[in-house]
Homo-oligomer: A and B are copies of this chain.
Amino acid sequence: MNIDIRMAHLFSALSDDQVRQVMESSHTGTLKDGESLFETGDEANRFFLVIGGQIKLFRVSSNGDQKIIDIIQPGNTFAEALMFMEHPIYPVSAEALGPARVISFDNRRFLQILSESIDVCFRIMGTMSQRLRGLIKEIDDLTLQSATTRMCAMLLRRMEDVGAKQFTLPAAKGVLAARLSMKPETFSRILQNLSTQNILKTKSNEIQVLDEDLLRSLAHLESIYGLEPEKPCALKGNNVSIDLNQKTG
């Protein structure tokens, strides 16, 4: 199993020799489903590269709820931004979503390499700046948008990733619900409503989009891409015909 870590953007500018150096301080491990990698508040002197499975980053509220901040896919690094802090502490917890394989790297060692290569610095800064953008977008979603909007945006993203109107949900429904900051019940009800409106068909974890345009207008994509605010559309966003609690019918 000779993996070239240069598949990760972060490492892509390293020379053969530098890769060798980095790998020296690395450690490859396998995680079982649900196994923890680190927790919020732990001292952070390593960062990670996912090479198989998925790692979920999350925070836990005082009442036990968890909000999933991100789900890291193979080929991606995470927690590398902490390297530059004085007393680095993981701001989130990380655990495997299903069985997973990760490589961990020593911050100090990597900083050393960094200090010799402006090129690698620039990569890192690029990665970090993308991540910043992603988080701002996330805040956007959370504050400016309703649960239905978030759901539709997620479905569209998935549809575009897969490139087909029919696809499987990328994780268990409960997990997706947490990712979208809603309860499983709400998730379920929204899907149910989208079905009723003939916007999509669902069969267990299979989704088939029937009315892409409607889905798209529910997802309010204008706001994300900064286009015109008011669209001449029968359903306008939140207070759509979609009724979550259609009281005793």
Contact = CB atoms under 8 A, between A and B. Distances in A.
Interface of A: 39-41, 59-65, 67, 69, 81-85, 91-92, 114-115, 118, 121-122, 124-126, 128-133, 135-140, 142-145, 181, 220, 222-223, 225-226, 229-230, 237-238
Given A59-B144, A125-B125, A229 B64 contact: yes
Contacts of A137: 91
A49 to B, nearest CB: 18
Contacts of A122: 84, 114-115, 121
Nearest to A127: B84
A202 to B, nearest CB: 25
B62 A222 contact: yes
B118 A230 contact: no
Contacts of A138: 135, 139
Given A142-B143, A143-B181, A129 B84 contact: yes
Given A69-B136, A69-B139, A61 B128 contact: no
A140 B69 CA distance: 9
The 8 A-B residue pairs whose C-beta atoms are closest, nearest first, are A41-B226, A61-B144, A135-B135, A81-B129, A121-B121, A84-B126, A62-B223, A84-B125
A180 to B, nearest CB: 10
- Chain A binding site: helix, strand, loop or mixed by DSSP? helix
B220 A62 contact: yes
28 contacts: A39-B226, A41-B226, A59-B144, A62-B220, A62-B237, A65-B144, A67-B139, A67-B143, A69-B136, A83-B125, A84-B122, A84-B126, A84-B128, A85-B130, A85-B133, A91-B133, A91-B136, A92-B136, A114-B118, A114-B122, A115-B118, A121-B121, A124-B125, A125-B125, A125-B128, A128-B132, A135-B135, A139-B139
A140 B59 contact: yes
Nearest to A117: B118
B128 A129 contact: yes
Nearest to A65: B144
A229 B62 contact: yes
A37 to B, nearest CB: 16
Contacts of A143: 67, 142, 181
A148 to B, nearest CB: 14
A139 B4 CA distance: 34
